[in-house]
Structure formats: structure tokens, C-alpha cells
Structure 1
Amino acid sequence: MSEIVTPPGMGNLESWPDRFVGREVELARLDDALTSGRTVVVAAVHGLGGVGKSSLAAYWAGTRAHGLGLVVWIRADSRAGVEQGLAAFATRLQPALAEVLTVEALVERGLQWLGTHTGWLLILDNVENPADIAVVRARARGGRIIVTGRLSMLWPSDAAVISLDVLDADDAEELLTGLVTAAGPRNLDGAADLCEALGYLPLAINQAGAYLAHQRFTTPRAYLQLLNDQPGPTLDCAATGTDAERTITRIWCVTLDRIAETEPYAVELLRILAWYAPDNVPLTLCRDETDQARGDAAIGMLLAYNMITADPAGESVSIHRLVQAVSRTPDPLDPHRDGVAIERAHATAIDAMWRALPDHKKPGSWPVWRNLLPHIIALERTLDDRERLLGGEHPRSLAFRENLAFAYESAGQTGEVISLFERTLVDLERQFGAEHAHTLTFRKNLADAYWSAGRTDEAIEQFERILADRERVLGDDHPDTVKSRENLAHAYTNNLKAAGLYERILADRERLLGAEHPDTLRCRDNLASAYFWSGRRRDAVRMFKQILADRERLLGDEHPDTLESRRTLYHYGWGVRDT
């Protein structure tokens, strides 16, 4: 084979897109790897389907492969594909052999030529299994090899591995603009927003650009509306004259076929992840509660195929927003997007969130709440979409709004807490009226939020309204009414008004619970504090002393309430001595 000279123009380099933008860093890395002086070099480019791996390889080979004469392109998605590509290469070398040699013999001829010649570039495109190309890597030692694939497979130390991500925002908009305006000026309203919605994924932008170029009276914003309303059909729609098999949904379907053959639960996990926010999904939301090994294997498989990515610390994963949109959209023709399976995944995502929610009353839980915040928001929005079916009063919907508020609070976003409760209160009053239990609960939440934000007058107004409603509906002595009275007293900045209200509450507590009940003692504590700050300091200290004596007698010297009374008396008694 060494004596065979390649005829001019016998390479079969795939064409790259008419518009190729960005990728300067990745092209430079290919330059460094493939123009080194080593005998054989392998550059592996991996990433999500549609991210532009093949385009990058073709563009580099067509524009920067200086000094490399022959370019051989093989579709390497299977062992049969590799063998077919090698046989076709051998046939191009010596066409007459096609009629006399078997496929196996032609494959051997192709390998022999690659092993005895130098100065060539071999591109093994869309590798699914490293074993399929092992013989090529072992015997093709005289040139350069670029491998592309969705798998983030383990490569030997001599390989330059390039993980390909989506485009930068500016490059993505440049790509879309160039495609849409190729035939002349166009209305580009919404171009930047569309690129963001497409997650800056090159294939999705090329697909949208081809559609818009053909539909001259459709703007990027109109296409964005189509994408929002019908993500599945929109991403499966190929423009006239383009390859119908090269749409986003079809490419990902093929990937999921491969994944399902080895790890079926990984496809289910992808549907579950589709309901959270796209970035930094904690692993606690990903793992199978009943079979952690199965969950970890599924995560590993999705990572291997670049359907998700992991953060460097290995504590969370991220998923492309278009993968999510497609995975949430039923399609009877796609076995991975069965409507029942999608709804089951939604329910599983919600259940996983419930299990992950910590006790919001513990300050140590706030970092967890902050990490969960974007995912609670995402799930709460999906529940909003389903309120037509569930009803706005559905306990799960209301509970999610409340948990979302806790998450906002932990992140210090008090304004978001207030806005959420205000919107919820309007909805509840419209559906159930002002006196319904759900309505009163959320009005109390809103009042607390106002108080935390320093909007005292608005907080007091809500507390007064709650108390009036509960007195009218439940009666003066109902526990919820008494609690509402305490909330209002606590909110009063006028300590005389607070003291007057606490006096009534104390009388109610003594009558309903007895003078020695813990709730009664706590009420006396509150009244004593109100006395102190309204100027009746000696009355307050006398009351604190009596509370301490009662708690020592009833609870013992070491009880937390007794210890707190002792600290309170020391603090307030010192203040009285200073006056």
C-alpha cells in the first residue's frame, strides 16, 4: 500500500455551515494539537448533540489544516459505519478493487494505507463507542485524527480533549442575523431574546435561521412565540431544502435511543430534570431515593453523552434549556416523550423537591433554601400552568407558593416574598372570599413579610383585618383568634396600645387555660415587656420576678424557659436600677 499515490481531490471532507462564527479558543486548541511535531495526534471534540462538533472539525480541516494533504471523513457512529467508511476510502484509492475484494479486504486496505502514509487527516465523526474505532487508532499512526462525539469518553493521555459548549451570546446573535439577512435586510426584532431562548445552541440557531430566511414575514420574536407555545413541533420543523433528520428533536431522540439501550432509567431522569431550573440542580433532586446506585448510574450515563453537565465540585448538574423544553413536550411519535411518562416525571420532580426541603425555621438551612430557590420557582410556575386543572386552592400549589416564599426569604429577597404573597392573596380572595382559611393564612404571611421589610403600618393593617375577620367568623375565644390578637399586639409600635391588648389576651389566657399554663406565662412575659417600654418599668420588673418564681416552681431551675426568665429579669432589672 505504501506505493499507492492518492489522486488529486479524492478526499471527502464534509462541508461546514455557510455561516461559521466564534470558536476561536477551540480552533486554537486544534491548531496546537494537530500541528505539533508528534508522529500521531488525536484531538477529541465532545459535547451535546447540536453544539457544533462536526462543524468545528470540518471548518478546521477546510481552513486551517495547512500541510495536511488528504482529508478522510468517516461517519463513525457504529462499527459497521467505521468499516463502511474505510472500505469506501480504499475504493476511492483504487476503484477497480471494489469489484474484486470483499468489504473486509477493503477495510484492511484502508487501514494499511493509513498505517504506511503520513500527512493525512482522518475525521471520525459522531463516535458512539470507543471500541468501534480502537483498531483505527492502533494502526493509523502516520497522520492526524479528529474524533467527534457526544460521549465524554476517557481518552489516553496523548489525546487533546476539547469539551465544546454553546456559543457566546454575541456570536449566537451574529449567526442568526447572518442567516436571516442573507437575502436582504429583515426585521430582526427579538433576535437576542430568541438566541437566549434557544440556549445559544448552534444547531437550534441554524434551524431557526433557516426557517426565518424562508418565512420572510416572520420575525425572530414571532418565532420565539411559536417556540414558547409549541416547543416540540417548532424544534422538529425543518426549513424547506434542509435535512429533516438534522433537527434538534431527531438528533436528541437518537441519543436517547442509545442511552436507553444501556441505562433506561437515565431517560426517565432526564424527563425529571426537565422540570427544574436548567442550572445547578442539586444531586439530592437527581438521585433515586429507593436505589441510589441506579440514580448514580443514570447520572453517569447522561454525563457521558453530554445530555447534562456537572459542576467541578460534583454537587450539582445542569441541563440545556432546550433539552428541558423538548423533554417536557409530549410527542406520540417519540418513544421518549410519552405523555403519561412526562406527567409521571413531573410528579416525581415535585416529590423529590418535597423531600429535599429543609426546616425553614433553622438558620442553618438557609444555604440549602438558596440553592433550591430557582428550582422551586420553576416547579411553582409549572403548578401555575396546571391550576386550571388542579384549582388555585390545590394544597400542593399553595404549599409551593409558601415554600417559595421561604426560599426568597433565605436569599434576602424580601421584595419577592411580598410580591408573591400579594399576588396569592388577590387570587385567594377572588376564589374563596376574604374569610376563608387559606385567605387568612396568606394574609398573615403577607403581614409578617411587611413587618420584616419595615413596612409596619401595612403589617398592622393586615393584622387588624385578620383579627376582625376571625373574631366575626370564629368567635373571641377561638385559639386562632387569640393568636391573631397576639400577632397584632406584637406588631404595635405604640407600646401603650400593645400593653392594652396584651392585658386582654392575658385575661383570656387565664380564663381559658389557667394562670400557670406555659402560654399564659409567655403572655405575661409579653405584657411585662410592653409595660417596660411604655414607661411602667417597676411594674414590669415586679411581673418579671413573679414569672421567674412561677417557672422555677412549675418547670424547675434548669428549664430553658426558666433560664430565659432569669436572663430577662437581669436585663430589665439592671435597666431599672440605672433610672
Structure 2
Amino acid sequence: MATYQLVITASELDVPWFAGKRRNSQSSERPALDSEAGTHAAGARSVAIGAGSTVGTVQTGDGARVVNLPPEALRPIAEVDAPPGIDNLPVQPTHFVGRERELARLDAALSVSGPVLVQAVHGLGGIGKTTLVAQWAATRDHGHEPLRWITADTSASVERGLAEFATALQPMLAHILTVAQLAERALQWLSTHSGWLLVLDNVENQRDIAEILARAHGGRIVITSRRATGWHTAATIVRIDVLDPTESVALLIDAITADGPRQLDGASDLCTALGHLPLAIDQAGAYLAQNPLLTPHDYLTMLSQYPADMFEHGAEVIDPERTIARIWNVTLDRVTTNHPTATNILQRLAWFAPEAIPVTLFDGLAAPPAIHSAIGALTAYNMISADPGTASVSVHRLVQAVARTPDPDDPRYSEAALECAHADAAAALLRALPERPHPSTWATWRTLLPHVDTLVAHHDHDINTNLLITTTDILNLTGEFLDDQGSHERAIEYIERALINSERTAGTDHPRTLTSRNNLALAYRSVGRFTEAIPLYERTLADRERILGINHLDTLSSRNNLADAYRSVGRFTEAIPLYERALADSAEALGNDHPSIVVSRNNLASAYESTGRLTEAIQLFELTIEASEQILGIDHPTTLTSRNNLAAAYQSSGRLDEAIRLFERTLEAREQILGFDHPDTLTSRNNLAAAYQSSGRLDEAIRLFELTIEARERIQGIDHPHTLTARNNLATAYMSSGRLDEALSLLELALTECERLFGTDHPDTFVARCVLAEGYEAANRLPEACRLYERVLADTERAVGPDHRSTHFIRGNLARLRSRGT
């Protein structure tokens, strides 16, 4: 078989040809001699060819070499077969768990016939794209060969990978073709063969692989990338998300225990903190495997105390370029080159909850076009995900953690820059919060509440004063909303923190501090902690009188609040004079036509009703309605509240027909003005149902109670105090109609829920216990009823005193029950 010789020179030289062989010479004066007599070459780098030779090779130039090519090397590329053993799959992952759904999607996509299929596997850096595809290629029966893996993060790396493929196909060509020529030959081979599988890993710029996608036919291409958008129209997209919690824990434990059993305390908590991100789990697992004295709990502690070190550095076996911080910083550098606002967006996102962050919280960062361009770029690189349906974005919790971690080598992440970002995020959130918890704002509150929770969790007593003041305002507003929604314990936690912050930043006498103290007293009252609420109300009233004056609106509000608290514990001899003074002071300070007068009259009338002074109560309610209609209008919500209260007073005085007519009129008005699902409308529906029940119209009562429960569960939630009250009311209607089994089931559930949500000593829990006792009595389960009445009596005497109206009522029920011989 013929052999072709190809001479390659490192440099072109003009050399004289003489009979004889070439010899290198140190001196131009010394001739090169040959063993054949009469054949020689004179001069530096001269060549001599022996006389009589018919075939020879002349090799010139420093580093020149001769390559002997077999004939097949020059065959057309379409005739070149791939030799066995040229697959170059990276090392199969040693720790791989789960991902069955994604592996199945790769199986399904690559089983489809066709000339070429582009499978784009994309996700956040560190999500496990490369690992997934490597695992799939190594373990699944995909039936493709050869399998070539090309790192495709730059155009140069793509070209290099193709050249290496061409070299694997025909090794001898590596000596005669340039890298560009080899890459072209690989592309020609891909376009003329079938059955191959090409993995393009970590594609950053789709232009870098455009020629491959355009020319390669007959095989399969799998792409991994952080980019989420712009892929080939025929591509099947597989988005990789974080691991399932069970899988992430298994991955961590597998890495930690590779050399033997270990203490695994805190493994689940660590995986949660790392957001179940595979690269972060690997990084933590390798670190813990290298440090046998540490537990996952220890790692989590260090992650909290030294985030920069833990994100930036891994174990010795971890590639320094493959740490969480390094990977994401590289991505962010690419994004911010064209979209500098992206840094500001990530730094603002860092202080909120990771899911469903409204884009309105980015207002003010830059001009709207710059904001949306940056959001688009961050989305394209999977640093965030966007939800057009809710106009919100989400971000991985570790991206947030890295974004709020100081980096002394990067001015964008200096301590000062991050402190400024924290303050800006807090100010943006405060601007977005509604001023008062009104039903029309509930949807907004519920959207923003997770972000409030997260932002205040990052609260540090060492933060600057302005940020502390902003955070205090957020805590106060949120505490009011939570208290209104029945989340009293959380409300107390927030308002207590607000009070501490106010006293620290403004002093004990600042109006902001007094507001926090008033709100805390209200929250204490909501959970029945009257022994704490009343002294706080008393102190706030005294301070406001001293600092703001006796006729200041806040002072008048404090006086009313204290009177309400006195009334709640049965201290009517103190409550009524305080209500009367609040009414007189309000009239003097504001005039008889001020809306606050209507509220003060309502409160005083309700106190009269509570003490059995029904005639005075009804007269005052009627006067209040007349004034409210003149001042506010007949359809104003405050007017409707007064009308509802008057109807209740009619019912208490036995004027049931008048009560029902007024309840019906109020319900109709509230449905028209406020809507069917407004909380005030639900209250009217409940009150009308109770009036129907009192008049014996049980079917109508039960229907309205059931409607009320359905609406309260849907709107306010199954755990809201008003929802639990509605269940109790329906149970009493069932009792009245003889449906005792249904009634007792509801009452027992209501008591359990009250004890769970509010504790055993909350007023609502007392009521639920008392109503259940009545149910047991109705069902003739007298010993159980007696035990409950005894407990309720003791609780009520302790909570509101022995002379409270509720205490007298329960004492009477117990006496009646005992008279029956129990």
C-alpha cells in the first residue's frame, strides 16, 4: 500500500541544492561532508543529495518534520467512520440522587425520530445541569455513538472541542491542520453522518453554537445552559429545578458518610438553608467530609456567621472556580456588562422572601426601561424567574444570600453598598404597604406579608437609625394588620419589636413610641391579656395627656381604648365615666358634627347596653344614627354600624320584630354598598341569623349561618376568630333544631381550635367552652356539662372578676344544672 509523505516546515528557507545529504553546521565556513566520496554541501543549512538517488525527502526549517499519511487520511470526510473508543464523557458523578423525572424527559425527547433534535437543559448555575446530562449519558440506553462532550462556554472552547473531535476521528490530521481547519472537518463529519450524540455544555452565547445547529444533521444535540430564552424553535426545553428535600438530604449524607458513619445533626436544616441546590449541597458535603469534627449544624452556624468564606471557599477537592460565589459572580458580571441595573435589582431582592416578589418593589431603582431590561437579562440567565400572571419574580435563596454578603474586593458589594441596599429595600416595602388594614387592601397585604417577615428577620440592632425607623414603621403597620386578621401572637411579636425600636431611636415620650405602646395594648387585649393591656393603656393615656394635651386626637383615642378595656373585664363603673368624658372632650375639641363624635356615642351606648341600661342605650343609638346620617350620610359604613348596634339593642330589650327589620335593612344596604363578602356584611348576615334563631325561624337561621361560615372560611381563613365564632353560632342553631350530634361535633371542634389558636385563657376560648357545656346539657350529658361550667366559671372569675355580667350568667347556669341533681 502506498504511503504519502507530507513535508511540514517550521520556517521557509532558501537553501542551495547540492549532491549530498543535509547536515547542520555550527559554522558557515565548515562544509557538511557525506560518507559518499565527492558528495558534500557547503554553507550554513545547506542540503546535499547523493548522486544516483531516485527518491528522497528534503526536510528544511527549524523543527521541520515529516508526516507519513495513510491513504485513508485523504478520503472524503463522508467516508470516514468513527473509530471505537472515542467517547469523551466526563467522569460519571459519584454522588447522584433523584432527578428521575428529568432523566425520563431526556429519554422521551431523544427517542423521537428525526434528523436532529436540540435538547436545551437550562437552569440556575449550580442547579446540576451538567451532572444530570452526564448521569443520563453514562447510565441510560440512548443508543448513540460516538458521544462527544464539548465545553461550550466560549466560541474558542467550541472550536477547540470540535478540533479535538476531528483529531479523535483522524489523529494524524492533528499534525497538518490548524485548529480552525480541524473544527471545520468535524463539522463536515457531523453533517454527513448519523447516530452520533453531541453534548454542548454550559453554552453562554447562542451565537457560539449557531453553526453547529445549522449544519449538523442526522444526530442528536443536548445543550446545557444557564440561559432560559432564545433557543432553537424545534428544541425541547427541560428546565432543571432544585432537588426535592428528601433527595437533597440524601445527597448531603452520601457525601458526608463516604468514609464512614458521621454525626448528621442538622442535615435537613442545612439543606433547607442551601435551598436544595445541588452544587451548594456538594460544596457543603465535601467540606464536611474533609472536616470530620464538624456536623451539618456546625456548617449552618458558620454559614450564618461567615457567609463570604463559606460561599467562596470549598474543600480541597472542590475546584475553586466551581464554588457558588464564583459561578454566580461570573454570570452576574456578564449580565451587568450590558445591564448595570441588574446588580441593584439583586441587592434589593436579597432582603425579601424568595418567592412572588412584586415588581413594584423595584420602583425607583432606575428608569422603567432599564429595570425591565435588567429583569429580562437576569431571567434569561436563570438568576431569577418571572411570572407574568402575578407581575412578580422569584429568586433562589442562595442567590439572595450571596447578594447580601459583603465582598471587600468588589465595590458593588461593600458594607456601605449593602447597607444602602437594605435601607432602600425597606423604604420600598414601606411605600407599598397599605396604611390601614381595610378589606380592600387585604390582597395587597397578603402578597407583601412574606416579604415583611423576611425583611424584619434580617433586622439587626446595629443597623443605622434611618433603617431602624423605617423597620419600626413596617412592624407597627404589620402588627395592626395581623391583629385585625386574628394572628394575635404574631401581632404581639411585631409590635413589641416596634416598641423596643421606637424607644431606642426616639425615646419613651415620642409620639411614635406612644403609638407602638397603644398598638401593643390593643394586641394584648385581643388575646385576653387584660392584666398587661390595661396598665399599658393607662400609661399611654397619661403620657399622651402630658405630652400631647388632653384634647389631642391621639389622647381622645387612648381614652376610648382604655374605656373599652375596662368594659371588657366588667369594670363598668370605670368604663362608663371614661366613655362619657371621651364623648364630652371630643365634642369640645372637635365639635358635635365631627365623625369621631359618632364613634364616641356608639361606644358609650354599647357600654350602657352591656350594663342593662337598655333605654339609655337605645336612645343614644337612635341619636347616633340621626347624627351619622346627617354628618356622614345614610349609606356610610359608620352609619350602617350604628344601625346594626341599634338592632342588637332592640333584640336585647325583647323588641325582636324591630330588631329583625333593622338587621334586614342593614344587611341589604351592606351587600349593596360594601359587597357580599365584606366583613361588615358577614357580621350583618350573622346577626340576622341569630335574630331569626331567637324568633324560632330556624331554617332561615341555619341557611344564613352556613352562608356566613362558607364566606368567612374563604375570605378570612379557617382559623380566623370570626370563622370560629360562626361555627359556634351554627352549632347553637343545630341545637335549637334538635340536630344535637351535628351541634356537638361542631362545638367540640370549635373548642379544640380555640385552644390551639388562642390558648386556654382567651375570652373566645371561654365562650367556646361555655357553649359546649350548654350542648352537653341539651344532650343530657350532665356530668360533662357540669365539669365544663365549673371550669368556665373559675376562668371567668379570674379573667373579668366575680361581678361581671358573664360571670353571673355562668354561675346561674351552673346553679341550675346542680339543681337537677348532678
| TM-score higher than 0.5 | yes
Q: Percent identity?
A: 48
Query: Structure 1's 411 and 482: CA in aligned 2 closer, same or farther, altered over 3 A?
Result: closer
The answer to whether the aligner puts 1:404 opposite 2:478 as a matched pair is yes
What are the superposed Cα offsets for residues 462-486 of structure 1, whole Å, 9 maximum, x if unpaired? 3234334445666655654443222
Once residues 20 and 564 of structure 1 are traced to their aligned partners in structure 2, the CA distance between those partners, rounded to angstroms, is: 65
User: Quick check: 1:372–1:407 contact (8 Å CA) kept in 2?
Assistant: no
Pairwise CA distance, 1:140: 1.3
Give the match's secondary structure for 1:74.
Answer: strand
The answer to whether the aligner puts 1:307 opposite 2:383 as a matched pair is yes
Pairwise CA distance, 1:449: 1.6
Query: Structure 1's 105 and 447: CA in aligned 2 closer, same or farther, altered over 3 A?
Result: same
Q: Pick which of 156-165 and 370-379 moved more.
A: 156-165
What's 1:441 paired with? Answer: 515
User: Quick check: 1:496–1:534 contact (8 Å CA) kept in 2?
Assistant: no
The answer to whether the aligner puts 1:166 opposite 2:242 as a matched pair is yes
Pairwise CA distance, 1:120: 1.3
Give the match's secondary structure for 1:375.
Answer: helix
Once residues 562 and 227 of structure 1 are traced to their aligned partners in structure 2, the CA distance between those partners, rounded to angstroms, is: 53
Pick from 615, 623, 638: which aligns with 1:538?
615
**AA partner of residue 575 (structure 2):** A
What are the superposed Cα offsets for residues 66-125 of structure 1, whole Å, 9 maximum, x if unpaired? 421211111111222211211121122222222322332211100011111222110001
Query: Structure 1's 434 and 129: CA in aligned 2 closer, same or farther, altered over 3 A?
Result: closer
Question: What runs of 5+ residues in structure 2 fail to find an aligned partner?
Answer: 1-76, 657-822
Pick from 34, 43, 48: which aligns with 2:110?
34
Pairwise CA distance, 1:42: 1.7
The answer to whether the aligner puts 1:381 opposite 2:457 as a matched pair is yes
User: Quick check: 1:332–1:338 contact (8 Å CA) kept in 2?
Assistant: yes
What's 2:176 paired with? Answer: 100
What's 1:138 paired with? Answer: 214
What's 2:488 paired with? Answer: 414
What's 1:152 paired with? Answer: 228
**AA partner of residue 111 (structure 2):** T
- RMSD between aligned residues: 3.1
User: Quick check: 1:447–1:463 contact (8 Å CA) kept in 2?
Assistant: yes
Question: What runs of 5+ residues in structure 1 fail to find an aligned partner?
Answer: none
**AA partner of residue 162 (structure 1):** V
User: Quick check: 2:279–2:324 contact (8 Å CA) kept in 1?
Assistant: yes
User: Quick check: 1:72–1:89 contact (8 Å CA) kept in 2?
Assistant: yes
Give the match's secondary structure for 1:126.
Answer: strand
Query: Structure 1's 318 and 531: CA in aligned 2 closer, same or farther, altered over 3 A?
Result: same
Once residues 259 and 393 of structure 1 are traced to their aligned partners in structure 2, the CA distance between those partners, rounded to angstroms, is: 29
Pick from 305, 308, 327: which aligns with 1:232?
308
Query: Structure 1's 133 and 417: CA in aligned 2 closer, same or farther, altered over 3 A?
Result: same
What's 1:250 paired with? Answer: 326
The answer to whether the aligner puts 1:527 opposite 2:601 as a matched pair is no
1:53-132 equivalences in 2 (<5 Å)? 53-132=129-208
What are the superposed Cα offsets for residues 426-451 of structure 1, whole Å, 9 maximum, x if unpaired? 67678988666444322210122233
Query: Structure 1's 266 and 424: CA in aligned 2 closer, same or farther, altered over 3 A?
Result: closer
1:5-44 equivalences in 2 (<5 Å)? 5-44=81-120
**AA partner of residue 135 (structure 1):** E
The answer to whether the aligner puts 1:367 opposite 2:431 as a matched pair is no
Query: Structure 1's 71 and 317: CA in aligned 2 closer, same or farther, altered over 3 A?
Result: same
**AA partner of residue 173 (structure 1):** V
**AA partner of residue 145 (structure 2):** G
**AA partner of residue 325 (structure 1):** A
**AA partner of residue 477 (structure 2):** N
Once residues 380 and 258 of structure 1 are traced to their aligned partners in structure 2, the CA distance between those partners, rounded to angstroms, is: 32
Pairwise CA distance, 1:44: 1.0
1:421-440 equivalences in 2 (<5 Å)? 421-425=495-499, 437-440=511-514
User: Quick check: 2:198–2:220 contact (8 Å CA) kept in 1?
Assistant: yes
The answer to whether the aligner puts 1:500 opposite 2:577 as a matched pair is yes
Give the match's secondary structure for 2:462.
Answer: helix
The answer to whether the aligner puts 1:221 opposite 2:297 as a matched pair is yes
Pairwise CA distance, 1:182: 1.0
What's 2:713 paired with? Answer: none
Q: Pick which of 29-38 and 141-150 moved more.
A: 29-38
The answer to whether the aligner puts 1:463 opposite 2:540 as a matched pair is no
Once residues 556 and 29 of structure 1 are traced to their aligned partners in structure 2, the CA distance between those partners, rounded to angstroms, is: 64
Q: TM-score, normalised by structure 2?
A: 0.65
What's 2:374 paired with? Answer: 298
The answer to whether the aligner puts 1:281 opposite 2:357 as a matched pair is yes
**AA partner of residue 134 (structure 1):** A
Query: Structure 1's 96 and 577: CA in aligned 2 closer, same or farther, altered over 3 A?
Result: closer
What are the superposed Cα offsets for residues 160-200 of structure 1, whole Å, 9 maximum, x if unpaired? 21000111111111111111111111111111111111111
Q: Pick which of 185-194 and 285-294 moved more.
A: 285-294
What are the superposed Cα offsets for residues 117-148 of structure 1, whole Å, 9 maximum, x if unpaired? 22211000111122211111121112111100
User: Quick check: 1:370–1:411 contact (8 Å CA) kept in 2?
Assistant: no
1:249-268 equivalences in 2 (<5 Å)? 249-268=325-344
Q: Pick which of 157-166 and 288-297 moved more.
A: 288-297
User: Quick check: 1:370–1:407 contact (8 Å CA) kept in 2?
Assistant: no
Pairwise CA distance, 1:544: 5.0
Once residues 497 and 336 of structure 1 are traced to their aligned partners in structure 2, the CA distance between those partners, rounded to angstroms, is: 60
What's 1:451 paired with? Answer: 525
User: Quick check: 2:632–2:639 contact (8 Å CA) kept in 1?
Assistant: no
Query: Structure 1's 389 and 415: CA in aligned 2 closer, same or farther, altered over 3 A?
Result: closer
Query: Structure 1's 221 and 479: CA in aligned 2 closer, same or farther, altered over 3 A?
Result: same
Q: What number of residue pairs does the alignment pair up?
A: 576
